[in-house]
Amino acid sequence: MNVLLVGLGRWGENHLRVLGELGVTLWVADVSPERLAWAIRRGVAPGRAVADYRAALSAVDAVDIVTSAGSHWDIARTCLASGRHCFIEKPLARTAVEARTLEAAAGAAGRVVQVGHIFRFHPATATLREALGAGRIGAVRYATGRFAGFKRPRTDVGVTQTDAIHYFDLFAHLFGREATRVGALQRDFLGRGLDDLSVTVVHYGDVPVVVEASYFTPGTWRECVIVGERGTLVADYGASTVTLHLGEHRKRGDAWEAVETGKEELPTRREEPLRLELQAFLDACVGRAPNPVPVAAGVRALEVVEAAERSARLGADVALPLTP
């Protein structure tokens, strides 16, 4: 396949590497001459490195969009109008309204639009799904997700839209149900007009999930904890580990006891999530497999983001789906 990678920033560098490893004929586009020169030094043919992505559309089958969130809508609409399949990094768009127009455009064009919710492809996620499907912890009571670390803030969207959104989509994927209610606290400590701390309670039916995201916590935290009636699953997405803690509370007379019944390190594969994600996109483009993250999933994740913003502003829970 001929694939055009649009955007050669820090994450775009990883896309370039993986697409090269997957053996596609790679084109690249970036407004920066320095970034284009860098890509050529990495093996991209000079004739396939362009400043304007539109100049390459007639030569490619699919487009991989790894640019700032505010540009996704325009670039994707243009590519779909040209009949090209699209991979769009999360967030799908700046707003749910934009995302819905992309969903309609994808349907009208009859092309694959896969959204870059990479946690779905993480080996830890496959292990969690297997354990949940096997009933290892019984009925799920609640869960938590933490995406935090001391790092440079993104300048295009707030921390809820860039980091917490990973978990909004992940828990929908793990539980097989959509969010129904959202309550949130958000802060803009740096005074940029974008949230840099968020704590969001998302209800997936009767299962509440607490998601924390911030730019201030020392270290790098990519955690997921799922508590069930007979035990707890703890996933560290940074270390790619999943631990099953078995135990339950038992009442003896008038007192409750916490009884631990075992601990097990569950096996996880050692595969790169981005490679799995982009291979899935290529497979969907040529009809070898269905689209694993359709545009509708990106729309729903953005609806949770917008519900969280509304909840934080109003100081009250917000029901989904949102009313205009």
**C-alpha distances in angstroms, 321 versus 7, 249, 318?**
33, 36, 9
Same-domain status, 45 and 167: no
Q: How many residues does the chain have?
A: 324
Q: What is the pTM of this model?
A: 0.95
Q: Are residue 262 and residue 147 in the same domain, yes or no?
A: yes
Please, what are the averages of pLDDT over each run of 10 residues along the chain (324 residues)? 96 97 97 97 97 98 96 96 97 94 95 98 98 97 98 94 97 97 98 98 98 97 97 97 96 93 95 98 97 97 97 97 74
Q: Where are the alpha helices (DSSP H) in the chain?
A: 10-21, 33-41, 69-81, 96-109, 123-133, 159, 165-175, 273-285, 295-314
Are 229 and 314 members of one domain?
yes
Same domain, 87 and 35: yes
pLDDT of residue 256: 94
176: left (phi over 0), alpha (psi -120 to 50) or beta: left
Q: What is the pLDDT of residue 322?
A: 79
Residue at 283 is within a domain: yes
**Model pLDDT, residue 126:** 98
* Domain annotation covers residue 297: no
**What pLDDT, on a 0 to 100 scale, did the predictor assign at position 57?**
98
Give dist(CA 139, CA 215) in Å, integer: 33
Residue 267 in any domain: the answer is yes
What is the CB neighbour count within 10 angstroms for residue 274? 18
Do 94 and 138 reside in the same domain of the chain? no
Contact 20, 275 (CB under 8 A): no
Q: Is residue 324 assigned to a domain?
A: no
The answer on 160 and 68 residing in a single domain is no
What's the confidence (pLDDT) of residue 324?
61
